[in-house]
Amino acid sequence: MRTIDLKLVTKKVSEMFIDACQNIPENVLQTLQRARDEEKSPLGKEVLSKIIDNDLLAREKCLPICQDTGVAVVFLTIGSEVTFEGDIHEAINEGVRIAYRDGYLRKSVVRHPLDRVNTRDNTPAIVHIKVVPGDIFKIDVAPKGGGSENMSLVKMLIPADGVEGIKKLVLDTVFNAGGKPCPPVIVGLGIGGNFEKCALMAKEALLREIDDVSDDPIVAKLEAELLEEINKCGVGPMGFGGTKTCLAVKINTYPCHIASLPVAINIQCHAARHKSCTL
């Protein structure tokens, strides 16, 4: 058995949230630069240039990429041979408190969805735990902004809707969202499972590298087709029109009931904020 020091967990969580909010991933930056070069609309090209300038300035000045530094979402992959002494959830929340205080990140969490009183430290985090064989302990963090999250949805399609039904749902969702999720967006899809499983898969899909390709040929084909079709919808950078509405589509799938075709769409803004570490 391997024992994980929860003080180290707190430290790493704090560092990763600050890093994610200030430093755009290099492969995302390169994708944005390619999008700017390929954008057909002069206004869209200018908007993408401003986005890139903002991202580089945030990196240089150690400032948040965006004022919305999001809800703190944490994914833990814990090996069955790993133990820790104490409360792992509290260790994570303490890391969030430190990050949002020391990084001067906006505190966006309210204690109750109806009374709307701010918790003033961006806790509690939303924590997902996956137990796997071995002694691995991996942390993924994702500060998820409200603008893009508000444009996300879960829809229980039926098998007869098929691939064309999924495409229509995604295209309608992205088009109707317009500029609200700060396009060009990354679209995470969860297809299969059930109501809650597809939503979690869609969120996890956003943790994939922006330039990766699915090992599943069916999924890889659908990702490529959706990316092409979304970029024909005309929404464009920040909703001002153009040919670059989406940077990437990432799809996760899972077996499902014979009568169901659950689909979740989780939209992410162009910053694609997430960080990962293994202890």
Contact, 246 vs 186, CB < 8 A? Answer: yes
Pick the CATH number of 2-22+65-144 from 3.40.50, 3.30.360, 3.30.70, 3.40.1280: 3.30.360
User: Does position 83 have pLDDT exceeding 90, yes or no?
Assistant: yes
pLDDT digits (tens, 9 = 90+) for 30-72: 999 999 999 999 999 999 999 999 999 999 999 999 999 999 9
Residue 187, number of CB atoms within 10 A of its CB:
28
The model carries a pTM of: 0.93
Angle between helical axes of 6-22 and 88-102 (0-180°, round to 10):
40
| Domain residue ranges of the chain, discontinuous segments joined by + | 2-22+65-144, 147-277
pLDDT digits (tens, 9 = 90+) for 196-238: 999 999 999 999 999 999 999 999 999 999 999 999 999 999 9
Q: What is the DSSP letter of 66?
A: S
Structure tokens belonging to residue 202: 């869609």
pLDDT band at 1 (very low <50, low <70, confident <90, very high): confident
Length of the chain: 279
Alpha carbons 270 and 51: distance in angstroms, whole number: 9
**Angle in degrees, CA 146, 70, 213, rounded to 5:** 85
Overall average pLDDT of the 14-35 stretch: 96
- Of 4, 277, 270, the closest CA to residue 135 belongs to 4
